[in-house]
Chains A and B, each alone.
Chain A
Amino acid sequence: MGPTLKDATAIAGIGQTPFAKRLPASEKALACQAIVAALDDAGIAASEVDAFASYTMEETDEVEIAKAIGAGDVTHFSKVGYGGGGSCATVAHLAAAIATGQASVGVAWRSRKRGSGPRPWKNTQVQLPTPGQWTRPFGLLRPADEIGMLARRYMHEYGATRDHLFNVALACRNRANQNPAAIMYERPLTREMYMTARWISEPLCLFDNCLETDGALACVVVSAERARDCRQRPVYVHSAAQGLPAQHHGMVNYWNDDPLTGPAWTAARHLWKGADLGPQDVDVAQIYDAFTPLIPLSLEGYGFCGRGEGAAFTEGGALEIGGRLPLNTGGGGLSEAYVHGFNLINEGVRQLRGTSTAQVPDAATCLVTAGEGVPTSALLLRS
């Protein structure tokens, strides 16, 4: 048997800044705060860091970060493409580098000021050429419009309703209500609020959309052996995968033969192939939720249910604590913070340490996914 990633590495530390609509510090300062906090959590000196991984739409680069925190000689650095689709791949790249001896202490991070910064979709100059020439002139302007189009088709094909999307929004909000770090802490959501909320892109309303947030997060990846000597209980990277399906087109997968099977399906096949576990063994899931419809689509893609069954899966409190698959237990992008999915990684770690504010009893396995609708990635973590 050749080399394997299975449990060879672990997340030894996590760190984050506060989340807010507006934070005074710069993105670089926020990134450094999160990274220093993650190293402190692990009990590892900054001078030992020799690997960095980030994903695109990140404005802080490893040269600046390494200098600022006092990293040593860096021997591995990578930047994964496609924005939110790359969150989990950062950990995967570090795990691969560490498992193959290219580095020993890796840091992945995300720093963002999207709460107070400009919205990327407003920059039409960079978006109009390929592939924007096929969509933007027709007023399909924002990610909410692009995913709304898939959501409408999904609802039409499978009888999914707004109540199913509400189930997703509510589960995330209920968990955020338990999490003092969440933007939506102590701000409950009701079905009436959801059903009467203003539209953003019909069929998606305000509560189907994530929260634009300022904030930064980081985690530290080391070998499994090293992790056992660190300050915190190790959270092992059991399996990891990226997925860019055949004939995929980012965000507007309408040109694929089967637009409702997105990158999750590709990532999932590889993730489960590299694991000793299957979907039935997952105790808690952190699934990328920039928009509520990504949850039923992802539930199908990662094999928790069959094709077209993702909406029905959300019924009966299935996504709540005590349900069939507790979801986004920090509140997710919908209700904790939208920081391109990195909060899902850190929350997965907290669940497996037993320190979540919405702890799933005895959680031992956690699926974490990155942005669906773009080339994506996923992690299967275990305690």
Chain B
Amino acid sequence: MSPIVTPTTDNRPDSGADLLFPVPDDDGAPFWEYTARGELRIQTCSGCDALRFPPRPCCPHCQSFAAHWQRMSGRGRIWSYVVPHPPLLPAYAALPGYNAIVVELADAPHIRLVGNLVAAADAPLNSVEPARLRIGAPVKAAFHTLPGGVTVPRWLLERP
């Protein structure tokens, strides 16, 4: 695991106010290394150029093991969303009305990322009124560094 993504806080459900950290595997680690630089990159086959997500060792189209990480424009559309309510882990229950969304990327609509729609990169997860969520709404990526040092992509409305 890359040192930049080592969780530094306790994720036990009784540990209080911490949001969860990504815990990458070998295949996913580069994604988080790029987000730490403010870049959204998707694993791409070096044999046939097909993008794939989630990351994995081998291309499902041509079985090549050679891959690189292609930079995305960071633009997309909301494919779907939910507004979770308790029972939730304490850190999320403390953010009533937060959303989880799936974004399809403008560059590659078959690549979809789970994320959050927020009012600004560093705003709380519940900083957008749930009533403003709409399937198809154009969004753009922003990057937020969690207290433990991990940077996650978040999403802002193109037309706030």
The chain A residues found within 8 Å of chain B, CB to CB, are: 119, 122-125, 128-142, 144-145, 148-150, 152-153, 156, 198-204, 247, 249, 252, 254-255, 257
Contact = CB atoms under 8 A, between A and B. Distances in A.
20 contacts: A122-B13, A123-B13, A124-B13, A124-B89, A130-B25, A133-B28, A135-B100, A139-B95, A139-B98, A141-B84, A148-B82, A149-B80, A153-B135, A156-B135, A200-B84, A201-B82, A201-B83, A247-B60, A249-B54, A254-B80
Contacts of B22: 128, 133-134, 136-137
B145 interface: no
Contacts, number: 125
A202 B96 CA distance: 12
Contacts of A156: 80, 135
A149 B80 CA distance: 6
Given A254-B112, A254-B114, A133 B84 contact: no
A255 B84 contact: no
Interface string B67-95: 00000000000011111110111001001
Given A132-B23, A153-B80, A201-B83, A138 B114 contact: yes
Contact of A252 (B7, B89, B114, B146): B114
Contacts of B92: 139, 141
Top 8 A-B residue pairs of the complex, sorted by shortest distance between their CB atoms: A128-B23, A153-B80, A202-B83, A148-B82, A133-B22, A140-B100, A130-B25, A199-B85
A229 to B, nearest CB: 50
Nearest to A144: B84
A140 B88 CA distance: 10
Contacts of B13: 122-124
Contact of B82 (A129, A133, A202, A249): A202
A198 B82 CA distance: 14
Contacts of A128: 7, 11, 20-23
Contacts of B80: 149-150, 152-153, 156, 254
B116 A139 contact: yes
A199 B23 CA distance: 29
B20 A199 contact: no
A142 B87 CA distance: 9
A131 B27 CA distance: 11
Contacts of B98: 139
Interface of B: 7, 11-13, 19-25, 27-28, 32, 53-54, 60, 79-85, 87-89, 92, 95, 98, 100, 102, 110-116, 125, 130, 135, 146, 150, 152
A219 B100 CA distance: 40
Nearest to B152: A137
A358 B150 CA distance: 54
B82 A138 contact: no
A152 B135 contact: yes
Contact of A145 (B82, B113, B150): B82
A199 to B, nearest CB: 4
B82 A136 contact: no
A162 to B, nearest CB: 14
A122 B15 CA distance: 12
Contacts of B21: 128, 137
A129 B102 contact: no
B86 to A, nearest CB: 8
Contacts of A137: 19-22, 146, 150, 152
B84 A201 contact: yes
A137 B54 CA distance: 15
